[in-house]
Structure 1
Amino acid sequence: MTIAAAPQAAPGAAGESARKRVFVLGATGTIGRATVRALVQRGHAVVCFVRPRAGAGGTRAPDDVPRGLAGAELRVGDVTDPASLARDGFRGERFDAVVSCLASRTGAPADAWAIDHRAHVHALRAAKDAGATHFVLLSAICVQRPRLAFQQAKLAFERELMDSGLTWSIVRPTAFFKSLSGQVERVKRGKPFVVFGDGTLTACKPIADEDLADYLAGCLDDAQRWNHVLPIGGPGEAITPRAQGELLFSLLGRPPRFRRVPVALLDAIVAVLAALGRVLPPLADKAEFARIGRYYATESMLVLDPASGRYDASATPSHGTRTLADHYAALLRGEASVDLGDHAVF
């Protein structure tokens, strides 16, 4: 496996290759919609395979989807069913590439293995049958230190993709703006910003939807991104949760206020739910959600140095132009909104 530094490119720059026919999975998610726009802008012919009930929580009907995917063809079916994928999705037609922004909605073990692994395996086989030669996968940087079911599921498919014989590009973003926006409204309402520990346990280099989409679309054209694992973050220095809070208060013109939550409290919650989950199966998923919360409270979303076991901001590549400060400012001015959906925490 090769982890490559991200070549710098101007966002929105068109590639040198010819127009491609691209099959897209996960097109109705936040990053998926942005990626479809980027592919269409580059002149590719895009076909999106969407679930009958798409979006966060499965709340969007097919008729609601086209507004966010202008210029692309939509096909509806069940991504977990290989027969539907072939019949309703690929339809026996030829495609040059598959771009997948598909991910499990909750991270629960059953959901993760069904979507992050098995659905992708079905898509990989269908892509080969359709003559596709390139598969671009949106993964996650947290798989570097896998301790959760969804990370194991993602890694299992990454390995299958690498061994598939296709050209592949595995993109591992550090953090999305969406995932760092859950406290904007509470802070606007005068509440403190919640941090774990002292707020400096972790750091990330968040990347804007549009910049990540530009990077994903560019994988089709840039040979330097082929057959590589590609960690990618946004511009600027890595930022800790405490710095995120300070930035938000500064934009509001208020003195910063924080509420500290000890990591030991998360450990206790995980332990209790795990014990109860052994006798009450519905609580097993809640225990996994608690583990996910603890993971993100204690692990940085940066490139992991395998030699030292430490996260390295300087080794984490950057792409794009939009910063988290730009995003927060737009949210506070009412010029942007974030649908946290299944990812809402606070």
Structure 2
Amino acid sequence: MSTILVTGGTGTLGRLVTERLRADGHEVRVLARHAQPYAVDLIRGGSGLEAAVAGVDTVVHCASTPRGGDERAAAHLIEAARRAGVAHLVYISIVGVDAVPVGYYKAKHAVERQIQESGLNWTILRTTQFHDLLVRVFETMGRLPVLLLPAGVSDQPIAVAEVADRLAALAAGGPAGRVADMGGPEAWTFEDLARAWLRATGRRRPVMTVPVPGRSFRALRAGGHLTPGNAVGKGTFEEHLAGRYGGGAAAR
């Protein structure tokens, strides 16, 4: 079995990828800012990164932050991987990074280009948003007396466990380039998603949709972040809500 480094290996996705790879018999190293013995801040780089990649066959790059710095982190990782002779770099990206002009998406797209031009053998998987992200958004919005949602926007959430399974399989295989996108089983309007969350949590809030101007929301309304032709996910948002909140969300 191979030696695999998972960046962001303590995060929502990276932790599950690590578990699956270890269950399959791989030696897995976890790189994260506070995860010994490979506690590394990728944005800053440093000597710890050299030790983390030494002797590694494959890197699964899950570390990412919307607060900025992904491109610098990727540059440090790519440089270290080249020096160490890493045979395969796997990257998790987002559906629509080349279509939706949001800052975080632009950064993810830039990292894709860095990897493609790195000289390393690579695999890139784009997926739609995780169920957990939508729940966090609604929990934050639910602190207000009214849920204000962008009009005309849908989402196609996917179970993070399914993405972890796919990433682990890709890491165990050979470099495959840009593989098929991976989307959740169906696209829902934000209003329907919010109402499902309200039912599951037993909360009562008025839901209002408002038109939001700008290029980013125009791209979202056009479905630039969706992949209906790749709706391969099985777990639904309602199933996720039922498992998280211990009840059953009624049919929408």
Report the secondary structure of 1:170's partner residue.
strand
Q: 4, 12, 18: which one pairs with 1:36?
A: 18
The answer as to whether partners of 1:192 and 1:259 remain within 8 angstroms in 2 is: yes
Q: 200, 209, 220: which one pairs with 1:299?
A: 220
Task: Tell me if 1:141 matches 2:102.
Answer: no
Amino acid at match of 2:246: R
Deviation at 1:135, TM superposition (A): 0.6
Runs of 5+ consecutive residues of structure 2 not aligned to the other structure:
248-252
The answer as to whether partners of 1:25 and 1:100 remain within 8 angstroms in 2 is: yes
TM-score, normalised to structure 2, is: 0.82
The answer as to whether partners of 1:175 and 1:207 remain within 8 angstroms in 2 is: yes
Matched length: 247
Deviation at 1:299, TM superposition (A): 0.8
Report the secondary structure of 2:31's partner residue.
strand
Identity of aligned residues (%): 28
2:56 matched residue in structure 1:
95
2:229 matched residue in structure 1:
315
C-alpha distance in structure 2 between counterparts of 1:135 and 1:301, whole Å: 32
2:164 matched residue in structure 1:
213
Deviation at 1:142, TM superposition (A): 3.1
The answer as to whether partners of 1:245 and 1:256 remain within 8 angstroms in 2 is: no
Deviation at 1:105, TM superposition (A): 4.2
2:126 matched residue in structure 1:
172
Amino acid at match of 1:50: A
Amino acid at match of 1:328: L
Q: 221, 232, 243: which one pairs with 2:182?
A: 232
The answer as to whether partners of 2:7 and 2:63 remain within 8 angstroms in 1 is: yes
Amino acid at match of 2:6: V
Deviation at 1:103, TM superposition (A): 0.9
Amino acid at match of 2:26: H
Question: What does 1:168-317 align with in structure 2 at a 5 Å threshold?
Answer: 168-181=122-135, 182-184=137-139, 191-197=145-151, 201-222=152-173, 226-234=176-184, 236-251=185-200, 257-263=206-212, 295=216, 299=220, 304=224, 313-317=227-231
C-alpha distance in structure 2 between counterparts of 1:161 and 1:186, whole Å: 36
C-alpha distance in structure 2 between counterparts of 1:195 and 1:316, whole Å: 26
Question: What does 1:99-178 align with in structure 2 at a 5 Å threshold?
Answer: 99-106=60-67, 111=68, 114=69, 116-178=70-132
C-alpha distance in structure 1 between counterparts of 2:199 and 2:131, whole Å: 18
Q: Are the structure 2 counterparts of residues 215 and 74 from structure 1 closer, same or farther at C-alpha, using a change threshold of 3 Å?
A: farther
Report the secondary structure of 1:214's partner residue.
helix
Deviation at 1:192, TM superposition (A): 4.6
Q: Are the structure 2 counterparts of residues 186 and 127 from structure 1 closer, same or farther at C-alpha, using a change threshold of 3 Å?
A: closer
Deviation at 1:249, TM superposition (A): 4.3
C-alpha distance in structure 2 between counterparts of 1:333 and 1:323, whole Å: 15
Q: Are the structure 2 counterparts of residues 313 and 95 from structure 1 closer, same or farther at C-alpha, using a change threshold of 3 Å?
A: closer
Runs of 5+ consecutive residues of structure 1 not aligned to the other structure:
1-18, 53-61, 63-72, 268-293, 305-310, 335-346
1:330 matched residue in structure 2:
243
Deviation at 1:210, TM superposition (A): 1.0
Question: What does 1:9-48 align with in structure 2 at a 5 Å threshold?
Answer: 19-48=1-30
Q: In angstroms, what is the RMSD of aligned CA positions?
A: 3.2
Deviation at 1:263, TM superposition (A): 1.6
Amino acid at match of 1:228: R
The answer as to whether partners of 1:142 and 1:301 remain within 8 angstroms in 2 is: no
Structure possessing the higher radius of gyration over alpha carbons: 1
1:9 matched residue in structure 2:
none
The answer as to whether partners of 2:131 and 2:237 remain within 8 angstroms in 1 is: yes
